[in-house]
Copies of this chain bind each other. A is one copy, B any other.
Amino acid sequence: MNIEIAFILSISISVLAFLVALYFYFWVKKQPSSNKEIARVGEFIKAGANTFLKKEYMLLAIFAGVAAILIFVFLPHPIWSEATASWTWKRNLAMMLSYLFGTVLSAMAGKVGITVATIANMKSAEAATKGIRPSFLAGFRGGAVMGMAVVGTSLLGVSVVYMLSGHVSSVLGFSFGASSLALFAKAGGGIFTKTADISADLVGKVEMGIPEDDPRNPAVIADNVGDNVGDVAGMGADLFDSHVASISASLVMAYALDKSDNKFTIMIFVYAALGLLCSIIGVLLARMGKKGTPTQALNLSTYITTALYAGFTALASVLFFNYEAGWRIWGAMMVGLFVGTIIGLVSDYFTNDNKKPVRYVADASKSGPAFTILSGTSYGFLSVFPPMIGIAVSALAAYKICYPITSTPVSGMFGISMAAVGMLAIVGMIISNDAYGPIVDNARGLVEMGGLGEEALEITDSLDSAGNTVKAVTKGFAIGAAGLTIIALLGAFMSEVNEAAAAAIEAGKTGIEMITGFDILNPIVFFGLLVGAALPAVFSAMLMLGVDRNAQRMVEEIHRQFKTIAGLKEGKKGVVPEYDKCIEIATVGALKELIPAGLIAIVATLLVGFVGGVQAIGGFLAGNIISGLLLALFMSNAGGLWDNAKKYIESGHNGGKGSDAHKSAVVGDTVGDPYKDTAGPSINTQVTVVSLVASMMATLFLTYSIF
């Protein structure tokens, strides 16, 4: 196979994904919707989400513009450098354009998701009056539009950039564009959604005892908007970024391995394209059986996709890569796929209300909120152990499997990156499952607000609960994949440094050495390790403080409305709260808080790099990875655990709703919300961004550092 065919394959399957997305989009759109109240509220949510997105993107456009100029001037080489065989100023231009392309595609993926989600929620709500199966399908296919669009865009983007530029540095630029936008989208959306969610719950459920999604609550629309901008758009941007990053890291190392033929590069595109193809088949087949549950339907399509992927790639190996190195890489991919599933199952154990941890926390809640927090924190810490061991073992296995391919460690690191590609191959399916969650969550709210009756509410409740169960698994999967990806990016960083070092040595520069590794006992590396490890803690603290500050503002506003709007508390007919005020607070606050948190990650990388040089950056990346994994896993799992402990009590255990145990569990859930939906998932993106900045800056750090 030659590289052109690989490109054509990737692009064709991307286009196929777009067609499927379009088909689902029109399918969802043509589902009936007649309820006026739902339409009114639905429009409100749509308008709120679009307003936020517009403001956010305008702000990010400024950021991206500045970053683009800096890239053009400095990267990969300062524009005033002398032209060489491998570099002219056109490379900078290509990198800049790739970067902008990455930001635009990432933003588009978010926009598409929001658009379809804000339609699908209405259709799913309305369909709930007819039964669970049509309601499920409307929700799922809405999510699948997002899944197909995101992965199609990612694969198309990488293929086009690499095909046109022919340079891995441009691919890194593209990946950085996607990641930096994802970082801000995740942080901003995460702050928005949790601001609204916490405030609505706190005043509505806890203080006033009115149900969730009660239309009297001024924050209820903001909460639904938040589900869209945080969980749909933010999550879409996040997985877009992981997918792009895993492919980019692989391409960087494949470039170092491929001497004349492009065999490793070809493999990457073929396997990524096959993953998308399997996801397409999986989502097309997904529907609820007559006797099945929504959880089973979601899981079954995931299993089908996974099995297909294992089979298709084995077939591809037989047909095209039927030699030792080919099979070794296939093995590394299978390690990734396998461990991803294991990690997902472990997350499930710690967050499933049939298992001990959730039950224990629900019981501890009887003794007061302090015990909810203590026991949840403890299980959260315990829960990091299995996935970290899983990531450690899979990285080691993938390395050992692929190390013999060449005599350099690069092939081992390439194995790790291919394990990440293997894990992320079925991400189209994962995103579809994941986006399904907030859509049916919103549908539930619309059913409540539209007064569609108890039966429809029960249906959407059970759809929502399936979304939460599956979410824990997909989140574990996503963190595992991100873990391997960022380890692979560490390898990509070394490849980039050595390419730069080789060029510099060839150009006759002195004092520059090839890097053979990063020794922990080198005090500069250790310095980097400590600083890198501290960063995720600071980053997540900033996000959580943002949520905290913002939620306090919104709680005040809700109190004001209940005090000053006559008849609102009593639910007098025709009295409507000022929903837009709450949306405004969430929007302004989120935009204000997201920039410093995002910038600190980038600035810290630049500081460490220019002070300590590439050795410090090596330690910095490793420290960042391990502490990032630790905190992301802890926060995601503890948050999911508290959420489900609360739901477990609400379903009638330990005194049920309104009991003391329930009040404690609500405190746990409120703490867990920004853990699992703001800070936790943003940490992955923070680590990815830092790794990409490091790789892009490799030459500059090599040349201009103080130490």
Contacts and interface: CB of A to CB of B under 8 A. Distances in A.
B202 A545 contact: no
Contacts of A384: 534, 537-538
Contact of A517 (B522, B531, B551, B555): B522
A671 B399 CA distance: 42
A385 B396 CA distance: 31
Given A521-B494, A523-B396, A623-B626, A537 B634 contact: yes
A392 B490 contact: no
Interface stretch (A39-47, A135-143, A363-371): A363-371
Contact of A374 (B416, B494, B525, B674): B674
Contact of A523 (B412, B619, B629): B412
Q: How often does this chain occur in the complex, in copies?
A: 2
A541 B392 contact: no
Contacts of A412: 523
Contacts of A367: 202, 551-552, 555
Nearest to A399: B523
Interface stretch (A292-300, A375-383, A560-568): A375-383
Contacts of A381: 537-538, 540-541, 544
A429 to B, nearest CB: 27
A330 B629 CA distance: 39
B541 A379 contact: yes
Contact of A392 (B385, B487, B527, B548): B527
A618 interface: yes
A679 B166 CA distance: 53
A627 B368 CA distance: 30
A519 B494 CA distance: 12
Interface size range on A against B: 35 or more
A392 B531 contact: yes
Contact of A534 (B385, B519, B529): B385
A534 B413 CA distance: 22
B392 A622 contact: no
A101 interface: no
B667 A547 contact: no
Nearest to A618: B520
Contact of A409 (B521, B552, B622, B630): B521
Contacts of A391: 530
A370 B667 contact: yes
A217 B42 CA distance: 56
B519 A392 contact: no
A465 B76 CA distance: 57
Contacts of A538: 381-382, 384-385
A327 interface: no
Contacts of A13: none
Complex A-B, nearest 3 residue pairs according to Cβ-Cβ distance, in ascending order: A517-B519, A370-B670, A381-B541
26 contacts: A198-B370, A206-B368, A364-B552, A367-B555, A371-B548, A371-B551, A374-B548, A379-B545, A380-B541, A382-B538, A385-B538, A388-B534, A392-B531, A395-B523, A396-B526, A400-B523, A409-B522, A517-B517, A517-B519, A518-B519, A520-B619, A520-B622, A529-B622, A533-B626, A537-B634, A630-B630
Given A385-B538, A388-B530, A534-B630, 4 more contacts: A378-B542, A416-B523, A487-B526, A520-B619
